[in-house]
Structure 1
Amino acid sequence: MIVRPRASLRRILEDLGSTVLDVAASPGELDTEVTGVHIYDPLDELLLPEGGILLAVGVDSAERIRALLAAAGPAAGVVVKQPVDVDDLVRAEARRTGVAVLGLTRAASWAQVAALLRSLLAEGDLTEPDETSPDNLFSLANALCALLDAPVTIEDRSSRVLAYSGRQDEADPGRVETVLGRQVPERYQLMLQRRGFFRQLYQSREPIYIELDDGSINRTAMAVRSGDEILGSIWVAVREPLSGQRQRALADTAKIVALQLLRRRAGADTSRRLRADLLSTVLAGGRDAAEAAGRLGVASERLCVLAAQLSGGSHTDAAHRESDRQRFCDALALHVGAIHPMAAAALVGSVAYAVLPLHAAGDEEARAVRVAESFLARVGPRHVANIGVGRLARDLAEVARSRADADRALRVLRARGSSGAVADYTGVHFEALLLQLSDLVKAEEQVPTGPYRRLLEHDAEHGSELVPTLRAYLDAFGDVNAASARVHVHANTFRYRLKRLTEISGLDLADPDARLAVTLQMRIFGRQGLF
């Protein structure tokens, strides 16, 4: 029996199809194992691991392609935007090095192809099953394409493309855009929703024929369901309705796809729970952290913990909220994984935690903040969230502290009512300490005392504004003119109130300890709901 590699270059090319990638110069066999995706930077030293695919951004000449092939060493392939400048020397170099030259369609962006390749490498569909195996969604799509003589996509409930057949170049630009982005473009989703096609699709247990009037090829669609639960759908680009026999073939395939989606969901849930348990062990520190880090493939030195939490969301349904959290965490895992192969992320409760290894450059925490800000910029406004960044952990023993730091920074952002913000612990240290002190005060059921309590009682009894006057005075650092402007009274009136509050409370404003004590009480207790 021949054991083929887990993710061969041939398999990836078959799954993507010539719509996205084509072989411009072949080294011969294409069964090389693909281990990862890397982006070419002419300013960095080119160090490619065995089996890597190099995205050669900006490389367009035969001479530069030959130079990359010579330097790429044990890589699986080099991707260049079409049209690829290939001559006999390039072909000879591809054969000599064993590195394939692949042409990327000009309609695709580098970000799209990078995400596409990484998602394929992350899927279990690249295990080289038999082409007719029902355990492979891409195989199912190709088999259905052959039966129906039309290109096929399999999509989830959110119109994300899970798999697609070959021959997509026979369809329309909208289908090509869908395959490249692995997502039905929003304008098409809105059009289908506005015309009631989704409602018709999900109510029917038979294929439906959709006539499009925007110049696109018509579609036949079939809902994929398990009982009454909609799992996804199958879309076929056709110019006329399917015959009865082909409709039955589509309906039968939908049942097989449903089984595969249920199996995949169960496996994904199990995998996510395992990753969450392992990452929780790493975050807790202790004697089991090293073993958990090893099983996760997480680095064990110079780590920083990110704590990310969605701050918005219109869904009232708990299942939808959980689904949003999981998609958000998946996006975070992809983001940090692209930065460092030994990073990891998992959802623990409602918070997505990421453990990010950092190089010893002296500004590790600042770099972690930039990573968090970059991530929020990429996912917003689809996922509005806050991220707390912990201090650098030199080893696994300090990861628990970094996690606590990140949690406290995240809590400060929640207390501020922030949305779409990033905070590192050192930047919000004092606010975090105040929140911790507030917790202690609440747990021990403590109440205001001394001058602050007397001022609160006087304001409550007489309807006066002595506490706001004191707060404005302290916030303005004793500047009466600035403080009076804050509370919108004349400076002389403000001085009178200041004199009255010192008489009533007994507060000595010349005493720095007294000023600190009353300032802290105002910050901890506030003025609401105390009397």
Structure 2
Amino acid sequence: MDACTLGDLLDVLGGPSVHLHTAPAGLAVPVTEALLYDAHAPLPHAPGALLLAVGVRAAAAGPLVRTAAEAGMSGLVVRGPDGPVGEAEAYGVALLSVDEDAAWHDVHLLLSSAIGARPAPPAGGLGDLFALADAVAAATGGATAVEDPRQRLLAYSTVPGQPVDEDRRQGILGLQVPVSPANTEQYRVLFAATGPVRLPALRDGDLPRLAVAVRAGGETLGSVWVVDDGRLAPDAEETLTQGASTAALLLLRARAAQELARHQNGDLLRRLLEGTADAATAAQRLGLEGAVRVAAFVLDAPSLPDAEQTALRLLDVVRLQCEARYGRHACVLVDGVVYAVLPAPGARHRKLAEDIVGRAGQALRVSVRAALGELVAGPAQAAASRQDAELVLRVLGPELPVATVDEVRPRVTLLRLAEVLGERRELSAGTWRRVLAYDEANGTDYARTLVSWFDAGCDMAGAARLLAVHPNTCRYRLKQAQQHVGIDLDDPDERLVLWLQLRTLAGLSAATV
């Protein structure tokens, strides 16, 4: 298993929790552990360790940088922004900081959990939680369960012979604590307490519980529950408190592993959509196989004051809906656009996109648009499907917030034609420029008349209706345009090229006249 690097650590905890000031050896240096500095004990030789400058002011931590470097350590963590950047760069040691009011034991717990994290499947860390539940059950003498803050069962003990009740059986079967007003009140009492609490049975035939909240740094991560049949060990409360501390570490490690895996998978998906990743490797890592389609979701108001944060919330909405539909799923936010790779069959992709747009609009209080690219044969063609989706995004509007590329094929084709024609001198030259120049110089409406005639299928009466003029007026203008500009409207090729150039390069259509 690869060692955690400084870059991995920052991916998990960087930003609000841990700030990087300098990394002279780069972000690929290994980070092996987090050590608390003790001024009264010699510093161990610990290659790759992060030293937490406990009891040392950030501005006075310069000598500690040299000591850490001599011990082979990768970095120094100080409290506050005024750390010794110059000394860190001189000795090749990374310098990181945490907020001034951060408790060192909380920082140590967070760093240790992140350093121990590795990319893992969604259930990463739950095996350790099951082992913890068994250990607590054996020590206390009561069947044990570990839950998250939403009362979902994460792990439970399997020690034989311990009494259980119907509530526990139902919780294990559904991996969710049964909802009831009485349960809600017990959780309120539990999370308000600072230590273990004893809770009565909720109904006849059930057993009381001994429970404790699992916390880290003031954040509630879940709870540990022990079935109390009246024969728990005398030190059950102390054992449960210790178990909650271990559970906090395991839950943080599982979270860090999932965040790191999500970040790495997001980067891999980004490269797959760019066409720079090995498609076979990416498909295996991301769980993609067979035909896929790329869907793109974007806020309809990108200039929002908190657009970046809102885009992250949009990513959460898209990921949640896709995972609910397909299980493990690949989503990523790139430059304000949320991309999701949808597996075949594609019949329900549009309905899913509509549902996401509706839910996101309600949750974020801002309109969202969704574009779906072509259904392609496999992940190797995902970049092409993404390009389709991006083209569709450019033609969407309030009247059409969701569309597949097939639904707007004419629009996106003209959009791409406009780009190609505009990039090539020989394709952008021609009669259309002379028509526009003549109109500008003489105040005529030849360009508008020509486009209306083309859009009406070369029908004079139809063109006149589009222009709101008499057919004779339309006929006269076309005749004059041929004479003054030199257009041969009897030549089908000239008609086609002139219409394409006026439509794409000049941006004219019957809808704009």
Q: Deviations over 1:263-299 (max 9, x none)?
A: 9999998665433202113324566233333333x32
Partner in structure 2 of residue 345 of structure 1: 331
Letter in 2 for 1:401: A
Q: Deviations over 1:37-62 (max 9, x none)?
A: xxxxxxxxxxxxxxxxxxxxxxxxxx
Partner in structure 2 of residue 248 of structure 1: none
Letter in 2 for 1:407: E
Q: 1:287 to 1:135 in 2, by over 3 A?
A: same
Partner in structure 2 of residue 230 of structure 1: none
Note the 1:428-507 alignment, pairs <5 A: 428-444=408-424, 448-507=428-487
2:386 corresponds to 1:397: no
Partner in structure 2 of residue 4 of structure 1: 129
SS for the counterpart of 1:426 is: coil
2:452 corresponds to 1:370: no
Are 1:389 and 1:425, in contact at CA under 8 Å, matched by a contact in 2? yes
Partner in structure 1 of residue 295 of structure 2: 306
Count of residues in Structure 1 that have an aligned counterpart in Structure 2: 310
Note the 1:406-421 alignment, pairs <5 A: 406-413=389-396, 417-418=397-398, 421=401
Note the 1:186-205 alignment, pairs <5 A: none
Higher Cα Rg, which structure:
2
Write the distance in 2 (CA, Å) between the matches of 1:285 and 1:273: 18
Shift in Å, 1:341: 0.9
Are 1:346 and 1:354, in contact at CA under 8 Å, matched by a contact in 2? yes
Shift in Å, 1:301: 1.4
2:367 corresponds to 1:384: yes
Note the 1:58-457 alignment, pairs <5 A: 76-77=173-174, 102-103=178-179, 131-134=213-216, 137-138=219-220, 273-285=263-275, 288-296=278-286, 298-313=287-302, 315-316=304-305, 320-359=306-345, 364=346, 366-380=347-361, 382-413=365-396, 417-418=397-398, 421-444=401-424, 448-457=428-437
Q: Deviations over 1:428-449 (max 9, x none)?
A: 2333233223223333456853
Are 1:391 and 1:405, in contact at CA under 8 Å, matched by a contact in 2? yes
Are 1:4 and 1:31, in contact at CA under 8 Å, matched by a contact in 2? no
Letter in 1 for 2:472: N
Q: Deviations over 1:407-442 (max 9, x none)?
A: 2222332xxx45761221222233323322322333
2:166 corresponds to 1:26: yes
Letter in 1 for 2:443: G
TM-score normalised by length of structure 2 = 0.52
Write the distance in 1 (CA, Å) between the matches of 2:132 and 2:271: 30
Letter in 2 for 1:134: A
Write the distance in 1 (CA, Å) between the matches of 2:444 and 2:132: 74
Are 1:480 and 1:495, in contact at CA under 8 Å, matched by a contact in 2? yes
Shift in Å, 1:26: 2.0
Write the distance in 2 (CA, Å) between the matches of 1:266 and 1:136: 17
Q: 1:7 to 1:478 in 2, by over 3 A?
A: farther
- Listed as ranges, the gaps of 5+ residues in structure 1 are 18-24, 33-75, 80-99, 109-128, 143-261
Letter in 1 for 2:220: F
Write the distance in 1 (CA, Å) between the matches of 2:406 and 2:222: 53
Partner in structure 1 of residue 18 of structure 2: none
SS for the counterpart of 1:526 is: coil
Write the distance in 2 (CA, Å) between the matches of 1:356 and 1:410: 17
Q: Deviations over 1:322-373 (max 9, x none)?
A: 11111111111111111101322110122110011123xxxx2x42122111
Q: Deviations over 1:93-138 (max 9, x none)?
A: xxxxxxx8x3567xx9xxxxxxxxxxxxxxxxxxxx9845425733
TM-score normalised by length of structure 1 = 0.50
Write the distance in 2 (CA, Å) between the matches of 1:30 and 1:396: 41
Write the distance in 2 (CA, Å) between the matches of 1:419 and 1:333: 26
Are 2:422 and 2:505, in contact at CA under 8 Å, matched by a contact in 1? no
Partner in structure 1 of residue 5 of structure 2: none
Letter in 1 for 2:352: V
Partner in structure 2 of residue 115 of structure 1: none
Shift in Å, 1:527: 6.1
Q: 1:475 to 1:463 in 2, by over 3 A?
A: same
% identity of equivalent residues = 31
Q: 1:270 to 1:436 in 2, by over 3 A?
A: same
Are 2:149 and 2:221, in contact at CA under 8 Å, matched by a contact in 1? no
SS for the counterpart of 2:331 is: strand
SS for the counterpart of 1:484 is: helix
Write the distance in 2 (CA, Å) between the matches of 1:323 and 1:266: 21
Shift in Å, 1:513: 1.4
Shift in Å, 1:304: 1.2
Q: Deviations over 1:432-486 (max 9, x none)?
A: 2332232233334568533322211110101111110111111111222222122
Write the distance in 1 (CA, Å) between the matches of 2:288 and 2:507: 47
